[in-house]
Structure 1
Amino acid sequence: MVVVGVSSLKGGVGKTTVTLGLASAALARGVPTLVVDLDPQADATTGLDVAARRESTVADVLANPRRGEIAKAVAPSGWAGDQPGVLDVMLGSEQTLDHDYATRPRAMRALATALSKVPWYDLVLLDCPPSLGGLTRTGLVASDRALVVSEPAIFSVAAADRALRAVESLRRSEAPHLQPLGILVNRYRERSPEHRYRLEEMTGLFGPLVLRPPLPDRSAVQQSQGATTPVHRWPGHGGAELAAAFDTHLDRVLRAAPSRAR
């Protein structure tokens, strides 16, 4: 099982879009996947078309990471025809905000403890909040790899640098197993001189951690999300281009072997 924390220290860069795109690629390939919606906005839960109601959410799992509580918080995505175990979601909730100030080691390891009890998934994607609070730290402590989402813009470049520094700080303390998967640039337009400049700037700063290809800026993203449909099923050239990019990045994710036993 590979656990990937999808994170950003700047809002609005498309962190949930990347989570959904990787989930779409995993579903198309038949990789059993769990998406954990740690963001209090719970957009990943909405985007994955979860119809089933559950007694619990990820907030309850963080408070009580027992197998029974986990089962009550996980529901199948409508993308998979509501079939459990294909593409599941640990439901998001506003109540996760109560855990954003967790600092005790036991609280920080609550999600890692919970994930050790669901070994039947090959891939776990954690959609972290766009800040370095307790929730993001808890998610990264539970992760094998950190995927930082950015945009080709000056403030996003600075945020990506802060995110990588945060990952390194966690590696030296609570999460010695954690490794950066890289920086994935979202909403990239090849014809934009500014975008090309920022991509080159990030490559100069972070080297091979800047993942290729960047995700192209296509309306198929908003359209497929509005229809709560996987981008791999969205018709047209834009959907196919995005699907191919996410397939490439899923390959990279799956090659990232876990660095510790769970």
Structure 2
Amino acid sequence: MDAVLLTLQILSFGVAWWLGWYLLSQEWERAARLFAGLSLLEYAVALATDLLARQAPSAALLDFLLRLNRPVLLLPILFWLGTLLFLLPEENSLRRWLAPLARPGLIALAVFIFLAGSMTNLLYDYESLRWTVLGYAYIALVGAAALVFSYLVLQGRRQEAVRLPLALVWVATIFVTLGLTLVLLPVAGRWAQLFVLSIGIDLLVLGVGVASLEAFSSGETVRLDMARSFGGSLLAALLFGLQVGMAIYLVGELTWALLLLLLATVATAI
């Protein structure tokens, strides 16, 4: 496995894992933060299972990890749709109509997608290793809805003094949809990994945008608190992760068990 690409993926996993939990820890009952946090955590799980699948020592383990990874990869944009809904102004008629159904509805839909995607070939054909027509249709439908919702957020809150976070939400939503579409293309190797990695960068931008918008709505400032949380998590991850890195160096190769240990160590430290 390419050392530079692996390092970038581990860093992306760690930052997504941290920001996801950070958003959930900051008044998680606020629906926009809840869904944004879940979106980032699902991406982190998708990235971790993708890394582990590429190093799987057996066909059975590879099949198991693929059945975890493929449906989970479809969930971040679903939860992001929920985030965008609750970023709409409270007086928006679409928000008033959908908000009561959003939390239980999106969670139930996510569970269904995971079970259907992991236990059947409904969304992904595990024999031919190709996405199905329903998989493409899902991305087309949810991606289009996310783009429409992000535009409505931009229009509905354009009078507020939060132009930069709104622009981040709009632009990053476009690129998340584009990145996920590229992931569905029948490519493998480095390109597939880069496409997955690009989604993480966009989701991180989205997460920061949501944190800023929510802090503005509450009359708070988020920069210092976020920087403090990130600094503490980074220090802990480095202290423990470098120990696993030293073990990998002494062994002379990155085995599946050591990769699992590295990911678990970073996740636990954060």
Task: Assess same fold via TM > 0.5.
Answer: no
Normalising by structure 1, report the TM-score: 0.32
Instruction: Point out the structure with max Rg over C-alpha.
Output: 2
The structure with the greater share of residues assigned to helix is 2
Normalising by structure 2, report the TM-score: 0.31
